[in-house]
Amino acid sequence: MIVHHAIAQHAGSYAKKLHLTPTRIGEVAHKAGVKNLILSHRMKRTYDSEKESLELIRKNYKGKIIWAEDLMKIKVQ
């Protein structure tokens, strides 16, 4: 599953209407039963909250988490 990590948990209500919070990302990934979670659309405004975001995602999702990088290639087998 590929999902945007575009906002921190503490983002304002308008931003939360546009993007999933880290907690919601974890809930959706868990419910969907995905094996790999790729966090894309990383933004300067979220860089300082990545550790906190991982902790919040991990409360519900226990699979592999990959932080996407520009020009990254992922081989699916």
Amino acid 44: pLDDT: 78
Write down the residue that tokens 């020009």 correspond to: 71
Q: Confirm whether 76 is domain-assigned.
A: no
Q: What is the pTM for the complete model shown?
A: 0.89
Q: Confirm whether 73 is domain-assigned.
A: no
Report the distance separating Cα 40 and Cα 67, nearest Å. Answer: 7
Predicted confidence (pLDDT) per residue in 28-61, tens digit: 999 999 999 999 988 777 888 999 999 999 999 9
Number of domains the chain contains: 1
Q: Confirm whether 48 is domain-assigned.
A: yes
Amino acid 60: pLDDT: 97
- Enumerate the H helices of 1-77 as residue ranges: 13-18, 22-32, 50-58
Report the distance separating Cα 22 and Cα 33, nearest Å. Answer: 17
Q: Confirm whether 41 is domain-assigned.
A: yes
Per the structure, the complete domain to which residue 47 belongs is given by 2-67
Predicted confidence (pLDDT) per residue in 56-77, tens digit: 999 999 999 999 988 999 887 7
Report the distance separating Cα 27 and Cα 42, nearest Å. Answer: 19
